[in-house]
Amino acid sequence: MFAKKLTCLATLLLAATVGSHTALAATPSSASTVHNIGIVGAGNMGETLGKLWADAGYHVMLASRHPDSLRSTANEIGHGTQVGTAEQASQFGDVVVIAVPYGALPQLGQGLHQQLAGKTVIDVSNPYPGRDGATAAKALSLGSGKASAQYLSGAHVVRAFNSLAATAIASNAHHSPLIAIPYAGDNSKALAQAKVLIQQAGFAAVNTGDLATATRFQPGSSLFLQVLDEQALRAQLADER
């Protein structure tokens, strides 16, 4: 009887172990080779995304021009979240997220050229000419995806998360049914990494196509600020073709 109980216990333990390995196989690091995420800009967007990814098991470093002021935010996020300069976060990240006022992109792109070369960069920044001047005006006429790729030349840019308010991202993560995040990019590895990071943040990932298609969810587009599930987002994209 005792031996039978032990066998049952062993079977349960084995099942639990196999189960946890199965879960691990689906964890962010093994599925996409992303372990570290550097976030340049730690305001509404950077903090919101940093928390979602830290909660999902990624190592996060937040950066701004005043990294010491980010310590309390990093402590609130927890999970060992670090702070650093933009250079340090760009070096640290397997993927780097840019979440700054759009007008800062040209200067950041030049300053971080070496660290970002060949790296996946998820740009969540939105161009507003009133705030960001000529840099934003150019982005709106060229298309935000193409413009970001020029400003951040050498990086594999993906546009994502820019079409929802930070508050909507925070309150809708892991919602059921999942809320959809449209994303666009030119590089297949960068797109695959962005897709996993969107999913791990608690959303459905909907690829609109190459970087030129980022206009479909930039400020002024019909999808901008729309909180939609995957089916509704795909239907709207199809309607607008």
Site residues, ligand NAP (CB under 6 A): 40-46, 64-66, 86, 99-102, 104, 108, 124-126, 162, 165-166
- Smallest gap from Cβ 228 to ligand NAP, in A, equals 15
- Smallest gap from Cβ 186 to ligand NAP, in A, equals 21
> Nearer Cβ to ligand NAP, position 27 or 128?
128
Q: Alpha-carbon distance 223 to 238, whole Å?
A: 12
Question: How many residues in the chain?
Answer: 241
- Are the beta carbons of 34 and 193 closer than 8 angstroms? yes
- Smallest gap from Cβ 231 to ligand NAP, in A, equals 23
Count of C-beta atoms within a 10 Å radius of residue 132: 21
> Can you name the residues that pair with 186 across neighbouring β-strands?
none
> Nearer Cβ to ligand NAP, position 31 or 168?
168
> Nearer Cβ to ligand NAP, position 209 or 219?
219
Q: Alpha-carbon distance 215 to 1, whole Å?
A: 68
- Smallest gap from Cβ 41 to ligand NAP, in A, equals 3
- Smallest gap from Cβ 84 to ligand NAP, in A, equals 11
Tokens (6 digits) for 175: 């919602």
- Smallest gap from Cβ 201 to ligand NAP, in A, equals 14
Query: What phi and psi, each to the nearest 5 degrees, are found at residue 116?
Result: -90, -10
- Smallest gap from Cβ 119 to ligand NAP, in A, equals 16
Helices (H), 98-204: 105-111, 113-116, 129-132, 134-142, 144-151, 166-172, 188-201
> Nearer Cβ to ligand NAP, position 99 or 192?
99
**Which of these, 239, 216, 230, lies nearest to 181 by C-alpha position?**
230
**Which of these, 127, 139, 140, lies nearest to 100 by C-alpha position?**
127
Torsion of CA 10, 12, 17, 20, to 10 degrees: -170
> Nearer Cβ to ligand NAP, position 11 or 107?
107
> Nearer Cβ to ligand NAP, position 53 or 102?
102
> Nearer Cβ to ligand NAP, position 65 or 175?
65
> Nearest to ligand NAP by Cβ — which residue?
43
Q: Alpha-carbon distance 158 to 33, whole Å?
A: 17
